[in-house]
Amino acid sequence: MSSSSLQPVRGTHDLYGEVGRRHRHVVETARTIAERYGYDEIATPIFEFSDVFKRTLGDVSDIVTKEMYSFTDRGGEGLTLRPEGTASVCRALISNGLTQSLPLKFFYNGPMFRYERPQKGRQRQFHQIGVELLGVAQPLADIEVVALGQRILDALGIADRTKLEINTLGDGESRQAYRQALVDYLTPQINFLSADSRTRLERNPLRILDSKDKEDREIVAGAPLLGNYLNEASEKFFKAVTAGLDRLGIAYTVNPRLVRGLDYYCHTAYEFTTEALGAQGTVIAGGRYDGLVEMMGGPSTPGVGWAGGIERLSMLAEAPPAPRRPIAVIPIGDEAEGLALELADRLRRAGFTADLGFSGNLGKRMKRANKIDAAAALILGEDEMKRGSVMLRDLDSGEQAEVKLDAIEERLARFR
């Protein structure tokens, strides 16, 4: 095996040390806040039948045509590593018969997979937190999930480095009217559109608004705005959402160019963005998707949610507190090994972090204690053992004292 084959695959990374602690901090913070809002955690498989994503993301989307990790397993089934979480949650809703228990609130976290150029904050295996609120058609649901995202950013201490952009996509009637206006605008310029956008013009013209192609973006800049084609019901819905955010003191900017190209999206679309990470500025994005569950073969079920990139959020957030400093348990001689094993277990059960060196003389074990930044060392020598005691050394001050074993938890309380 060559040394190169032992390297991580391009676009993947190992999570450990401070990077791992930052990752966990984002997940645990988000989970705590989501629980306060009544969201139950769900974990779906990291791979699904390919049709779950092809049907929901659209046959002509970049994700389906260029980015999905798809393969045929030994049973001949077409499978795909999940590129996003919403479709999997909706599939779980249908396949587990949960549509009889609506409304439902779910929080999730885990790895997603897309074959794209690795970039700051986005790898080929990346990680997301997300929430889905299913079964509520009223604007109150949109307000809640946006507020939940805001409160997670607050708890991470990064709300002041992000801004909320929001828009309305209207209902089906409004979107159909806008779709026709967009086609009428783009058709005369079809020869100037990219190949992908020419394909989308016929099948899904709203996706052209998401194009990253430079010429496409110049053309789209002059396109009509969806907001000019809203019917009364859509305007009323959006006003209710923004009024709710106002009541909660959540600042936002209406961005009339913020859209979602897939047909099952409707009404509210939103993104929390930052300028602190360069071009990759979206940290949370979501919207209402009332048509998705029905498109997947389930009953008509309203839904709204968002997903956030853990890598990007962890880069913005302050480093979490360092792990609690351990107590090093250091036996001297073979006879002390057994007592050291018992003492380390006793301390752990009492709530302390304890480290038991596995080998080496006193000098080597003390070096290890310093290397792991232990707060104190408990040294078990032959004489101390005979007296039923242990030597306690404060590794910051260097002070040490002999302590009876039956009083050790009390004497270590300041190191907890």
Q: What is the pLDDT of residues 71-108, one digit of tens each?
A: 999 999 999 999 999 999 999 999 999 999 999 999 99
Same domain, 272 and 331: no
Average pLDDT, the chain: 91
CA-nearest of 140, 162, 137 to 150 is 162
- Measured CA to CA, the distance from residue 239 to residue 143 in angstroms comes to 11
Q: How many percent of the chain have pLDDT more than 70?
A: 96
Whether 150 and 288 share a structural domain: yes
Q: How confident is the model at residue 120 (pLDDT cuts 50, 70, 90)?
A: confident
Closest CA to 308 of 67, 155, 141, 84: 84
**Would residue 44 count as lying in a domain?**
yes
72 and 37 together in one domain: yes
**Residue 279, pLDDT above cutoff 80:** no
Handedness of CA 213, 264, 110, 20 (dihedral sign): positive
pLDDT value at position 236? 97
Burial class (CB in 10 A: 0-12, 13-18, 19+), 303: buried
In angstroms, rounded to a whole number, what is the distance separating the alpha carbons of residues 53 and 111?
Answer: 16
Strands 400-404, 78-81: pairing kind: unpaired
| DSSP β-ladder status, 78-81 and 354-356 | unpaired
Assess if residue 146 is contained within a domain.
yes
Domain end: 316, 342, 358, which one?
316
Phi, psi (deg, nearest 5) at residue 212: -95, -5
**Is the same domain home to 382 and 307?**
no
Choosing from 265, 294, 316, the residue where a domain stops is 316
Measured in residues, the chain has a length of: 416
Query: By the 8 A CB rule, do 158 and 25 touch?
Result: no
- 297 and 341 in a single domain? The answer is no
**Residue 149 located in a structural domain:** yes
Q: Quick one: how far is CA 192 from the chain centroid?
A: 38
| Residue 217 in domain | no
| 307, burial (CB in 10 Å: exposed 0-12, middle 13-18, buried 19+) | buried
Residue 66's CATH number: 3.30.930.10
Distance CA 171, CA 149 (A): 24
Same-domain pairing of 253 and 392:
no
Q: Which residue(s) pair with 306 in the sheet?
A: 131, 286
Residue 220 has pLDDT above 60, yes or no: yes
Last residue of a domain, one of 258, 281, 316: 316
CATH (domain of 371): 3.40.50.800
Looking at mean pLDDT, say which of 2-6, 88-92, 360-364 comes out highest.
88-92
CA distance 180 to 194: 20
Domain count, the chain: 2
Alpha-carbon gap, residue 46 to 68, rounded angstroms: 13
Going by pLDDT thresholds of 50, 70 and 90, the confidence category of residue 377 is very high
Q: Is residue 365 part of a domain?
A: yes
Domain shared by 91 and 142, yes or no: yes
Considering the domain architecture, whether residues 270 and 148 belong to the same structural domain is answered as yes
Q: Kindly state whether residues 290 and 395 are assigned to the same domain.
A: no
Helices (H), 37-138: 50-57, 62, 86-95
Residues 135 and 252 placed together within one structural domain of the fold = yes
* Residue among 372, 365, 260 at smallest CA distance from 322: 372
Mean pLDDT value of segment 288-316: 95
User: Which of 106-120, 197-211, 306-320 is the least confident region?
Assistant: 197-211
Write down the pLDDT at residue 245: 98
CA distance 376 to 397: 10
What's the pTM?
Answer: 0.89
> Is there a single domain that holds both residue 278 and residue 343?
no
Residue 303 banded pLDDT, cuts 50, 70, 90: very high
Range of the domain at 278: 3-171+231-316
CB within 8 Å of 107: residues ≥ 6 apart: 30, 31, 34, 35, 39, 40, 41, 42, 129, 130, 131
On whether residue 202 sits in a domain, the answer given is no
Q: Is residue 185 part of a domain?
A: no
How is residue 159 written in tokens? 């709300």
154 and 14 fall within a common domain: yes
Report yes or no on 187 lying in a domain: no
If pLDDT is split at 50, 70 and 90, which confidence band does 55 have? confident
